[in-house]
Amino acid sequence: MTFDSAADSATPGPPDIQALRQRVQEQVGQVVIGQTGATDVVLVSAIVGGHVLLEGVPGVAKTLLTNCVARALGMSFGRIQFTPDMLPSDVTGNSVLLDGELRFRPGPVFTNVLLADEINRTPPKTQAALLESMQEQQVSIDGTTYTLPQPFLVVATQNPVEQEGTYPLPEAQLDRFLFKVNVGYPAETDEVSMLLSAHRGLAPTAIGDIAPVTNAAELLSIRAVVESTVLNETVASYIVSLIRATRHQPQVSIGASPRAAVHLMAASKAAARLGGRDFVTPDDVRFMAPPVLRHRLILTPDAELEGTRPDQVVTAVLNSVPVPR
């Protein structure tokens, strides 16, 4: 007797970003209640190879969510809690003398998902060490270059309330983040479910309940699929028009860079795939514009004084540039 099971002999289909998103949300949702937008953003960044800035007050699950997404993605997770006395080598690693020989001791940056907690609590030199690694995907120490594991994703957190003794990231560094997301308070019903779902007292919620639903190889093949998403000339021109319009807003002193245009394109391709399409529409671009652009607009001192928010400028830009149909 032979078994001819179609399921057993089936070759795996092409990697599917929609299915992956659902699996990741299911896993993370066992531990983190709500905050599904932030989970999506971290997932998309891991897929396209970008980095995320999460802004929010303490205690809104920034750390928990990042840790959970890393686990669901089957990737290694590391954390750096930034402090004022931290040195660049505390991030990248350094050479140590071992049995009379110089050996490289890798720093915490050598991981798939790195949580850079309270990045604006450390001086610019140490921030720069991390941001260079993000950009280069490698670390150079004493003339030797060490490549970081792939995928490599930095999730940096900062507190929206600027405290004394913080070092705001310079514009040039902010531009390296694909997304900035504001992690707010959960909805009241979510906050109640949070208490009901995990009767675990004050212990950290059960991160161990999360099962990996993918791996680095699959993520990289999904990345290739996302990159292959079609961007026609009309939509490419629309992206460029939006980016250029940010440079002419009266409330803006420095608008979005060409790098921002590249990032908006990459994010829009992911949005298209999440919508089940293999081509980018203007709506994909509009959907991704706020999280991609909000941290890259430097407002004029007058606009700052008046309390203008970058998101208002992004909205004005989206309203002023005609949408191709």
Binding site for ligand ADP (CB under 6 A): 32-35, 56, 58-64, 186, 194, 204-205
Q: Which residues are bridge partners to 77 per DSSP?
A: 113
Q: Which does 205 bind (CB under 5 to 8 A by kind): Mg ion, ligand ADP, none?
A: ligand ADP
Q: In whole angstroms, how close is the CB of 11 to Mg ion at the nearest point?
A: 42
d(CA 257, CA 262): 9
Q: Which does 160 bind (CB under 5 to 8 A by kind): Mg ion, ligand ADP, none?
A: none
Q: Which of 44, 67, 13, 39 is nearest to 223 (CA)?
A: 44
DSSP state of 253: E
Closest to ligand ADP by CB, 69 vs 129, is 69
Q: Which of 161, 77, 163, 91 is nearest to 121 (CA)?
A: 163
Parallel/antiparallel/unpaired status of strands 52-55 and 153-158: parallel
Instruction: Check if the beta carbon of residue 76 is closer than 8 Å to that of residue 112.
Output: yes
Q: Which of 177, 176, 162, 204 is nearest to 57 (CA)?
A: 162
Q: In whole angstroms, how close is the CB of 115 to Mg ion at the nearest point?
A: 8
Closest to Mg ion by CB, 63 vs 281, is 63
Q: 120 phi and psi, to 5 degrees?
A: -90, 15
Q: Which of residues 240-259 bind Mg ion (CB under 5 A)?
A: none
Closest to ligand ADP by CB, 89 vs 120, is 120
Q: Which does 88 bind (CB under 5 to 8 A by kind): Mg ion, ligand ADP, none?
A: none
Q: Which does 291 bind (CB under 5 to 8 A by kind): ligand ADP, Mg ion, none?
A: none
Q: For residue 274, which amino acid is it?
A: L
Closest to ligand ADP by CB, 180 vs 263, is 180
Closest to Mg ion by CB, 160 vs 258, is 160
**DSSP per-residue codes, 275-313:** TT-SB--HHHHHHHHHHHHGGGPEEPHHHHHTT--HHHH
Q: In whole angstroms, how close is the CB of 239 to Mg ion at the nearest point?
A: 34
153-158, strands of its sheet edge to edge: 77-81, 113-117, 153-158, 52-55, 179-182
Q: In whole angstroms, how close is the CB of 139 to Mg ion at the nearest point?
A: 24
Q: In whole angstroms, how close is the CB of 35 to ligand ADP at the nearest point?
A: 5
Q: In whole angstroms, how close is the CB of 96 to Mg ion at the nearest point?
A: 30
Q: Which does 27 bind (CB under 5 to 8 A by kind): ligand ADP, Mg ion, none?
A: none
d(CA 71, CA 48): 18
Q: Which does 64 bind (CB under 5 to 8 A by kind): Mg ion, ligand ADP, none?
A: ligand ADP
Closest to Mg ion by CB, 157 vs 214, is 157
Q: Which of residues 48-87 bind Mg ion (CB under 5 A)?
A: 63
Residues forming contacts to Mg ion in the complex (CB under 5 A) are 63
